Every structure is written in structure tokens, then in C-alpha cells.
Structure 1
């Protein structure tokens, strides 16, 4: 029984051992299966990680290439693809020589440079000091002021300017003379009293056609016209009868154009003197319409006249009112209001006014007045494009200004000769 039992016990033990081993094998198999499953998942995760890295690298490479392309495009835009508005602002501030040099860079620059190219100089505003011999010249294009000592002008009063020449008058001696402030040339005229008269001349005194002209009021229907020329020994004065009333005074405006002197009276009537025939005629032409509130205190100081390419232009301005510009139509005998200057620039001062074309873009289609603000840095102007004054709210009350304190004059071609 014991053996059998033992055998049985042995068998039992063996069986138990077998069962245990089988169970362990099963567990091992399960463990092996588990290990195989974990490896597959790991491989998949590794492949996914590699793919993510590849995608990240590709994205980073694309971003790098995009940045490089943008940088290259920006570098090209810096020179050849700048906005036209910015190019205009740059080129309009360049001298003529620099403008021409810049225009050969590329087609786009050439177009922009030509559109604002300056082939004409703006006049300078010359100031007459109350004391001393130091005279200032303000350049509105460059916003610079130059000084020049001119003792030759001591005791004189400016009357008119044209072609870079001044016409001056010394009240104490009745001396009348031309003076070029840049060449220092002097051309004397016979003595003549010009205390209450406005004077003008046709061209520079170097030409044989130079004539000095003035008109004086005798009565509402009679004026005395006096003329002279360089080299003459005396003035020639002739009285003329007016068909229409013509009030001549120191507030008249005179302009010479195509052999005629045009004289705008205090009340806006236009008289014409023919240099060749020596005839005088007051045109039956209604005066230009004045702006509202024009007839205020010292209203006559806000009136200017000039010529441009054979046309006579009149400017009326009053305080904050927008200037009104008229052009004379001689064939149809009427004043036409101008809404645009077609790129032209006008320079208005009490004694003489001027016109220019082909100035910097920012100066075109504007009227520049003989008043400088902001410590001599900005000239008051009115833009017909923008319908406003510059600087903003800087319209000027002409009643406050001495009409003889400054005048527009053509600058010299070579600045180094006197600066």
C-alpha cells in the first residue's frame, strides 16, 4: 500500500510537476506572445516617430526656403520694386543731376524720376532788412536760407524784379537803378520821382528792348505814363485820356507780356499800354470776381498779377478764403476762373509775381506766397490739388504784412559764386 501509495504519490507528484510545467509553458508562451506583441508596437511607434521627424525636417526645410525666398524678394523690392509714391517722394527731393543718374537704374525708376524731374529752379524770396546791409534769400524748394551782404542797396527801396535783376529807388535822391545781387552789376537810370507809383520793366537791362514803365493817376479819366530805357538821359511822360475810369495808385499791378504793359487798377479794371504804338487803352472788361469777405481791412494787399506763356493771370486771396485764380481770355474778353494749374507753380508777392513749370512734384499745381513761417522753414502755399493751405491752417492776413519787405527773384545758376 505504501509503495502503491508512493507510486501513486509519485505519479501524483509527477503529474503535479507536469501540470506545473505545462502551466509554466503556457505562461511562457503567453509571455512570448506578449513579448512579440510589444516589439511590433515598438516597431510601429519607431516608424511613426521616424516619419514625424521626416515631416518636421521637411516643414523646417520648407520654412527655411520660404524665408530665403522672401528675403531675396525683399532685397529685390528694396531697389527695383519700391512703391511709386515712395519713389516720387525720393526723386522730387533730388537735384537735376542726381535725378538723371538715378533714372538709369531701371525702367521703373526712370519713369518715376522723369515724372518729378526738376528742369527749372524756383525763385527765391529776398528779404529787405530795416537796418543793416545783410540780405536773406529763402529757397522754398530746399527750405534753406542764404545770406548776402549788399551795401550797394543802402537807402534804397525795391520796386520790381525780373530775370534776376532788381529795379530800385532811392527816395532821398530820386535815383533809379538796376542791380543784380548775384553779379553785383549796376545800371543807372535818369533820376525820377517814384514816391507814389508802381514801376515795372520789360526785360533785363542788358537787352536793347528793355523799357521801364510807370503809370500815375491825374484824374479819373486821365493818367500820366512815363517810360525810360538804359542809356537814356531822361524819362518820357505823356498824358493819356481814359475811355473808362481808371484809378491808378501804388496798389496797382503791372506786368509786361508780348510787347504790352498790362496794368490792373485798384478796383480791378485793366489798362493796356502798347510799347510799339505807344497807345493806352482801358479794356471794357468787367473786373474779376473777388472772393467772399475780400473787401476787408487792407483788402488790396491780397491781389497779385503775373504772366505765363503769354497769358495774364490774376490771383485774389483773403485771410482763410481759398485763393481764386483767373486767366484773361483776350479774344473773348473775359476772365476765366482756373480750377487747376496743370502742374504749374505760381509765386505771388506784392511787387512782382512769377510762374514756373517742371518744379519738384510736391510744389506743382500750387501757389506760393511771400510769407515764411516756422522760423524760416516753411513757405505758406496753397495746393489746388488738395484744396488747402500748407502748413495746415497757415493762411495769411495780408493786411499785416509790409508789401516792401520782400520780393521773389530768380536765383543764380551757380550757387557757389556767392554762398
Structure 2
């Protein structure tokens, strides 16, 4: 009898030992597991919720994470470079990401242009309109009776709070700023006496954090607040090269101003040399030359500019200019990583007159 009890007790201990050993093995296996062992479904759910920057950083964990991160990554689409029609009733839209040109018929737009020109001849006023070449939507603004130099709008004209701004001048010392909005019946104009340090020859115009920034041909930066109608000149001395280039024959075509997430960049080009890029430091109130864009892509234009944080790898840390070569297959760009233009020896084309008429434009999300 005692022998049977011992056997049962021994068997019971054996089962417990086996369970304990299995638990220890399972615990050891869990301790050996890494983040790379997460199920694919969990990885996809986790990585798809990250913005593109964090997604790219997460892809460096391991090959498996890289594969999943790439599969759920959504990159920014680049703007299109719009060419005004030269022959026929088509605009050309160049896509730098796919390196191809897309023609778009503009016959209906041409009819509108002819009608507006006829109206202008009748009343001698300048007719302003906002036209979307993708949707063919047209917003007509009040007639404008002054001469002007630059115009811009704060956001999409279909958005509430859109402000259209026109810079002009009266005589040699007065800056005239005119405003209106879609649906307005007339323009509101306010005159400002120009500060001696800032020429009223407003050259470039961008929007940043609701403010209009205007770069003069001498490199000084003026700021207009449309909410309280105030105009001021930042006490930031311009870089020496911008001041020196103000006497150049092509001074208006050697500078670009681009906004990116509240930061203001100025790109200065000179034929045969690498472009110089400056970033405005509002804390120190000075322009700083930058050697890298930290992966940002700038699309510089004389009439409009854009920026992107996340585009395809080959396009990152570059500046794209408003000029296409090789039958619409290559857009002139400068790589800050390689310190060279692509295609090579094309920088001289940037100051051609027709390059001044091209502009970068934001396509609809579903545009193909």
C-alpha cells in the first residue's frame, strides 16, 4: 500500500515538473522574442497610424518592419508645373515624380479669356478671375482700376476666409495694397509710405501663418497682416549676395522665395554656380545659409512656389526649378546631396523669358 502511494505521489510530482518546465520554456521564448516578431496585422495597424516621417524611421528597425512600413506608407504627391499654351488649345502639366507631361485642353478657358479681354477694352478696367484648370471652375472678382505688380491669395478660393491681395505703388514712395475676397463687390485699398530701407518694388510674395511676406529686389522683407491691415518691414539685414544682385539685369529672375511649415527660404541662383539657400531665423532675426534641407523638397517658381516633406527618395533634399528639358521628360533641379544640377549644365536656362511664365500648381488629390 505504501509503495502505491509513493508511485502516485511521484507521478503527481512529475506532472508538476513538466508543467513547470513548459512554463519556463514559454517564458524563455517570450524573453527571446523581439519587436520583429509582432504579427503582420499588428505591425500594419501600428505603422499605418504613423506620419510618414515616423514611418520612415520605423522602417529602419529590421527588414520585416521595412517591408510592412513601405507597404502602408503614403508619400506626398508633388505639385505640377503648368505651362501656358504656345501652340494649340492645351496646357502642359509636368509631373516631376513620374517624369512625364500631361496635356490638358483649355478651349473653354480661351473663350473666357477672349470675353474678358473684350470687357476690358470696353470699360478700361482690369478684370481679375480665379480659374481652376483641373475643374474648370471660374471665380470672377471685382474690376480693378489701378496698376499692379504682384497678386496672391491666402488659401483656396473655395475656402472661407480666403483673401486676395494685390501689391502696387503710387508714385515713387507709396505702396498700395488692395484686398478683396470671393463674392466681394469692390476692392479695399490702403496706402503705406515705403520705408527707405525696403524698396517698394515688391518682387516675391508668399503666405506664411496667415501673413503675406514680400521680398523686395534689394532683399528686405515686408510683412502684411490682412486681419488688422498693418504693413511693416522686418529688421533683418538681407544677405550680401541679394543686395549685390539687385543691380543685375535679371535681378527679378535670380531669386525664389518658398514657405515650408512656417519657415521662409530664399533661393538665390547665379548662372554657372550652385544656388545659395537662406533660411529666415525669426528668433535671431537673421538669414542663415543652409547646406541641407533635411529631406525637404522645394519647388521654386517665379509666380508660385511649393514645398514637400515626404516625396520619393530621389527627389528629397532638392530644389526643382520651373523649367523642363528633353521634350518634357526632365525638370531642372539641384541636388544638395550631390551638389550639382540635373540635367547638367542646364542652370543657364533658368533666366529664359518663358520660364518666368510657368508656375507650380496643386492638383486635386484624385488627379491622374
Distance 1:399 1:255, change over 3 A: same
CA deviations over 1:257-308 (Å, ceiling 9, x no partner): 1121111011111111112211111222211232799554313202111211
* Structure 1 Cα separation of the partners of residues 326 and 190 of structure 2: 47
* TM-score (normalised: structure 2): 0.74
* Contact 2:321-2:350 within 8 A present in 1 as well: no
Deviation at 1:394, TM superposition (A): 2.1
3-state SS of paired residue (1:411): coil
- How far did residue 253 of structure 1 move? 0.6
- Which one of the candidate residues 148, 151, 154 is aligned to 2:107? 151
- Any idea what the Cα deviations from partners look like across 1:338-370, whole Å, max 9, x if unmatched? 111010000011111110111000000000001
| 2:168 paired with 1:191 | no
Deviation string for 1:387-417 (max 9, x for gaps)?
111112222343323355311011222235x
| Structure 2: stretches of 5+ with no match in the other structure | 1-54
Aligned to 2:264: 312
Which of 339, 347, 367 is matched with 1:387 structurally? 339
Unaligned 5+ segments in structure 1 are 1-99, 158-167
Distance 2:328 2:237 in 1: 39
Structure 1 residues 178-226: Cα deviation after superposition (integer angstroms, max 9, x where no partner): 1111111111110115754110110011122100112212355421111
Does the 8 Å contact 2:260/2:307 carry over to 1? Answer: yes
Offset at 1:114?
4.5
Which residue is 2:254 aligned to? 302
RMSD of Structure 2 on Structure 1 (CA):
2.9
Give TM-score, length-normalised by structure 1: 0.66
Instruction: Identify the residue that residue 260 of structure 1 maps to in structure 2.
Output: 211
Please state if 1:281 is matched with 2:232: yes
Does the CA contact (< 8 Å) of 1:171 and 1:193 recur in 2? no
Q: C-alpha displacement at 1:152, in angstroms?
A: 3.8
The within-5 A match list for 1:65-214 is: 108=63, 110-111=65-66, 114=69, 118-154=74-110, 174-193=126-145, 196-214=148-166
8 A Cα contact 1:254 1:262, kept in partner: yes
Segment drifting more, 251-260 vs 357-366: 251-260
How many residue pairs align between the two structures? 302
Q: State the distance in 2 between where 1:293 and 1:217 align.
A: 24
